Chains A and B, each alone.
Chain A
């Protein structure tokens, strides 16, 4: 009479297919899935299902704990592979630019308006304060940031900061610095939203304040229009990016505080994922803004061309984000 345990016989019958699945998963995880042949790719789901059924049988009939543990780990690994994201990087990028990003931005329209108003409020306040009393200037802008552009500077100097591009050697570095610095601040503004909006809102107002204070100084010397051209050639893109980052942060804080019909965690999750899509786009926008600020602004000194670029970017972004519905998220 065969004295082998029934559960051991079961294991001997199935063991081969488990090992096969393990080997395939090892290869797929270590190298790109492309290294598997079509047959092998097709084999994984079948082997995964057989491992799952083995797991069910083992749980019901085997008391070998090591076997059940092994099958649980193997099934989970295969599950993550089989039901993991299938899209290639290229497909993901296409989906992102074609609908995910503009759609996510559009959904944030309320927060975008609030965020823009906060920044505008900061700008106007600082402008009025500095116009009335130049002493306020140092409250908004540190000496390093001002680098001489303060209320005591001569008009010639201020004019020179707007039109002198500096030597063209350092432009690449300058653009890169601007991009990484701005992107870092935007990501920070987004993350701060988690703390119930307030820090994000403060950051937005403060950002507006620096702009308003600077503007006040230049406007007091009759350089208002010139300064606007200097700011808006890249500022349309950059400020919009900062406003969107702030909006995404506000949405998170707002969802946690007032989840509405969803559960608090559910609301936070939806806001977080949508916000993340917006943030990926924000980094792209700031990259473009960095190029405009680092190169275009330094090389183009004509006010008319500067304003044309500003207008063109404004039209381009609003067309991209807010034109008719594209059928929503494809997912």
Chain B
């Protein structure tokens, strides 16, 4: 596990289920994790403000001074140390920030994510997040600039760790045996071939040669173009394909209709060949 899947995409990792199917999961980008962290920090600071205001209003009340102080101290402690841990121990294995970015924490060996792993990865935030923040805060007040600077450089080693390894592990991930993956919720898009009832339409009788011009890669590019449904792209792609396969545009056909018909026929052809074990990767593939 954790080995590169047989793919050109450097972000795909294989995760083989006990049933023997490779789920081919995708690593989260550093930028996505950064944004998720910003969102979480925003929530933490917001809650802290609410907590302070709440405690202050209790405090002003008089009698409940002690209670207010205890609530504030404990609230601050829990927010700082257990915000991440509590959310990541949940079913979604993600903080609100990670959820919004479609990320989740996963054990690198594919097994269940345990509490100790979550605690370990988040205890390291002391070193990777709060210590640098403290240095920065001190940098604004203290006089011994070079000490602060040295501190920031030293912390930088840990903060920047995700940039320097293939799996984008930060220190916490390293010692907890976890990594952060994309786990988006996807809706099932309609199949493009269902939109056209007149697939067998005689006017789109492509020859075998015309269909053998392209391979799977081009088919998927065509799929993307059709799903995006942008006028200019459709016109451009339709023209390009007509030229390539030598198709003359009749007066009745629209570009979209033509592309749809070509997509359907090309997919049928390629899928038929797939059944015989032949996968034509792209237009240069001679199989």
Chain B positions 223-271 with a Cβ under 8 Å from a chain A Cβ: 223-224, 227, 264, 267-268, 270-271
**A124 in the interface (beta carbon within 8 A):** no
Is B174 a contact of A75 with CB atoms below 8 Å? no
- Asked if A176 meets B69 with Cβ closer than 8 Å, knowing A63-B270, A67-B191, A190-B123, the reply is yes
Is B223 a contact of A173 with CB atoms below 8 Å? no
Chain B positions 109-135 with a Cβ under 8 Å from a chain A Cβ: 110-117, 119-121, 123-127, 131
Kindly supply a per-residue 1/0 record for chain A positions 229-251, scoring 1 wherever the CB is within 8 Å of any chain B CB and 0 otherwise. 00000000000000000000000
How large, as a class, is the contact surface on chain A?
35 or more
Q: Tell me the smallest distance from the CB of B193 to a CB of chain A, in Å.
A: 5
Stretch at the interface among B34-42, B138-146, B180-188, B205-213: B180-188
- Asked if A79 meets B104 with Cβ closer than 8 Å, knowing A195-B127, A269-B176, the reply is no
Is B21 a contact of A73 with CB atoms below 8 Å? no
The distance in angstroms between the C-alpha atoms of A85 and B92, with both chains bound, is 12
The distance in angstroms between the C-alpha atoms of A136 and B21, with both chains bound, is 67
The distance in angstroms between the C-alpha atoms of A173 and B58, with both chains bound, is 14
Is A29 a contact of B92 with CB atoms below 8 Å? yes
List, in ascending order, chain B residues with CB within 8 A of A56's CB.
21
- Asked if A184 meets B77 with Cβ closer than 8 Å, knowing A64-B192, A85-B114, A92-B115, the reply is yes
Q: Tell me the smallest distance from the CB of A79 to a CB of chain B, in Å.
A: 6
The distance in angstroms between the C-alpha atoms of A58 and B282, with both chains bound, is 19
List, in ascending order, chain A residues with CB within 8 A of B192's CB.
64
A264 nearest in chain B by CB position: B174
The distance in angstroms between the C-alpha atoms of A180 and B121, with both chains bound, is 20
**B83 in the interface (beta carbon within 8 A):** no
Return the contact of B188 from the options A15, A86, A100 (Cβ within 8 A).
A15
Is A84 a contact of B188 with CB atoms below 8 Å? no
- Asked if A64 meets B124 with Cβ closer than 8 Å, knowing A80-B106, A173-B73, A183-B77, the reply is no
Q: Tell me the smallest distance from the CB of A146 to a CB of chain B, in Å.
A: 22
**B24 in the interface (beta carbon within 8 A):** yes
Stretch at the interface among A107-115, A149-157, A270-278, A311-319: A270-278
Return the contact of A272 from the options B76, B177, B268 (Cβ within 8 A).
B177
Is B113 a contact of A61 with CB atoms below 8 Å? no
**A52 in the interface (beta carbon within 8 A):** yes
- Asked if A180 meets B76 with Cβ closer than 8 Å, knowing A3-B199, A172-B66, A273-B116, the reply is yes
- Asked if A188 meets B126 with Cβ closer than 8 Å, knowing A73-B183, A77-B183, A273-B177, the reply is yes
List, in ascending order, chain A residues with CB within 8 A of B110's CB.
83
List, in ascending order, chain A residues with CB within 8 A of B73's CB.
173, 176-177, 180
The distance in angstroms between the C-alpha atoms of A29 and B183, with both chains bound, is 13
**B275 in the interface (beta carbon within 8 A):** yes
Is A76 a contact of B23 with CB atoms below 8 Å? yes
Q: Tell me the smallest distance from the CB of B167 to a CB of chain A, in Å.
A: 10
A188 nearest in chain B by CB position: B126
Pairs across A and B, CB under 8 Å, 17 listed: A55-B21, A56-B21, A64-B223, A65-B220, A66-B188, A74-B186, A76-B15, A76-B183, A79-B17, A83-B17, A172-B66, A183-B77, A188-B131, A195-B158, A269-B176, A276-B123, A280-B115
The 9 closest A-B pairs by CB, nearest first: A272-B175, A276-B120, A269-B177, A191-B126, A180-B77, A276-B119, A191-B127, A73-B186, A276-B116
